[in-house]
């Protein structure tokens, strides 16, 4: 599972915010099925209240790998956004 790979440190994380928030990432399949053969595949990457929703079609070559890379990129993007949140906003806490 992509979420477990991010949390376990399988992927190199360069920024401190990425390392700080890797324990909070959620990767959620918002498709109507777990099968990657349906016509509209939707994957959500979430860091608490911030999220990115990507959609895919089944005819994309190497789809599982594309989803994995996109999920990692989305996590990194969300980590940068969290790093820009005013420090007085206490809604984001690292579990690490």
Number of domains in the chain: 1
Instruction: Examine residue 49 and state whether it is found in any structural domain, yes or no.
Output: yes
What is residue 30's predicted lDDT score, i.e. its pLDDT? 95
| DSSP per-residue string spanning 25-36 | EEEEE-SSSS-T
Instruction: Examine residue 14 and state whether it is found in any structural domain, yes or no.
Output: yes
What is residue 84's predicted lDDT score, i.e. its pLDDT? 86
Helix (H, G, I), strand (E, B) or coil at 55: strand
pTM (2 d.p.): 0.84
Instruction: Examine residue 60 and state whether it is found in any structural domain, yes or no.
Output: yes
Give the pLDDT means over successive 10-residue stretches in the chain (96 positions): 90 89 94 86 95 94 94 96 75 55
Instruction: Examine residue 88 and state whether it is found in any structural domain, yes or no.
Output: no
- The tokens describing 20, both together, are 């700080």
What is residue 92's predicted lDDT score, i.e. its pLDDT? 58
What is residue 38's predicted lDDT score, i.e. its pLDDT? 84
């Amino acid at each position: 599972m992509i979420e477990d790979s991010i949390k376990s440190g399988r992927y190199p994380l360069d920024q401190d915010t990425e390392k700080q928030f890797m324990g909070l990432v959620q990767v959620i399949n918002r498709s109507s099925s777990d099968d990657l053969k349906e016509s509209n595949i939707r994957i959500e990457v979430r860091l608490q209240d911030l999220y990115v929703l990507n959609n895919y079609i089944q005819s994309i070559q190497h789809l599982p790998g594309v989803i994995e890379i996109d999920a990692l990129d989305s996590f990194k993007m969300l980590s940068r956004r969290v790093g820009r949140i005013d420090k007085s906003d206490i809604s984001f806490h690292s579990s690490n």
